[in-house]
Amino acid sequence: MKRFDCLKLIAAEAKDALVVSSAGATTLEWNALRPSDGNFRVRTLGLCSSIALGMALGLPHRRIVALDGDGSLLMNLCSLPTIARMRPNNLLHVVFDNEVYEASGSKKTATASCTDLFAIARAAGIEKARWANSVEEFAQAVSAALKGEGPYFMGAKITTDRTEVPPYPMDEVENKYRFVRHVEKTENIEIFKSGLPASYA
């Protein structure tokens, strides 16, 4: 199974979902498939699911998708019990398991030898956990997860090949401003206030 094919399926169903992605090829491929200011790239390894959880709790009526990797999730496994405990029904946490630290020289992760992220998610208390063994199963699970009540966890073993896509088009601060302005516009709320007294204007 290729990550790019799985991402295409998510892009077809994601609509206005806010999407948080782990840095590296996942972010680049996703951004090529669904260019949007509603995409947020994560730079801290491990934090993808936690940032998505914060968004899901802050905007409970909006779909939030986390595009995570095995290396990233392994660094922040405690995110799973916290998600299970908080039960955000608008969160879909997707893990692409290629068994390597792809962005860091492709050394093997623990899932290459013995670790089962699906079993960990279940044991952490995430009832709606799925593991897809084919593109068809992945498509079915995505479709259900983007319509139903979560939190959902879904994963798939993927190959290590990358699709040629352009580099990420902006730095972190621009990503932040664009993302927040997108949320302000689509939710009709004000997040950034200048805070300056009128006399400064």
Partner 1 sequence: MTEEEAARTIWDGLKTAGINLVATLPDVNLAELLRAVEEDRDVVHVPLCREEEGIGVCAGAYLVGKKCAAIMQNGGFFNSNNAIVSTLLQYQIPLLLLIYYAGDVGDRTFSTSGAMTEPVLQALGIRYYVMRQPKDAAELIKRAQILAEDSKRPVALLLTKEVLGRRAALGASHPE
Q: Among 42-50, 93-101, 128-136, 140-148, which window interacts with partner 1 (CB under 8 A)?
A: 42-50
Q: According to CB under 8 A, which one of 113, 188, 189, 200 is a site residue for partner 1?
A: 189
54 vs 28: CA distance, rounded Å: 23
Question: Is 54 among the residues that bind partner 1 (CB under 8 A)?
Answer: yes
Question: Is 125 among the residues that bind partner 1 (CB under 8 A)?
Answer: no
C-beta of 77: minimal distance to partner 1 in Å?
9
Q: Among 8-16, 50-58, 95-103, 149-157, which window interacts with partner 1 (CB under 8 A)?
A: 50-58
Q: Among 48-56, 104-112, 125-133, 143-151, which window interacts with partner 1 (CB under 8 A)?
A: 48-56
Question: Is 53 among the residues that bind partner 1 (CB under 8 A)?
Answer: yes
Contacting partner 1 within 57-76 (CB under 8 A): 57-59, 62, 76
Residues of the shown chain interacting with partner 1 in the complex, contacts defined by CB under 8 A: 18, 20, 40, 42-44, 46-59, 62, 76, 78-79, 81-82, 85-86, 172-173, 175-176, 179-180, 183, 187, 189, 191, 195
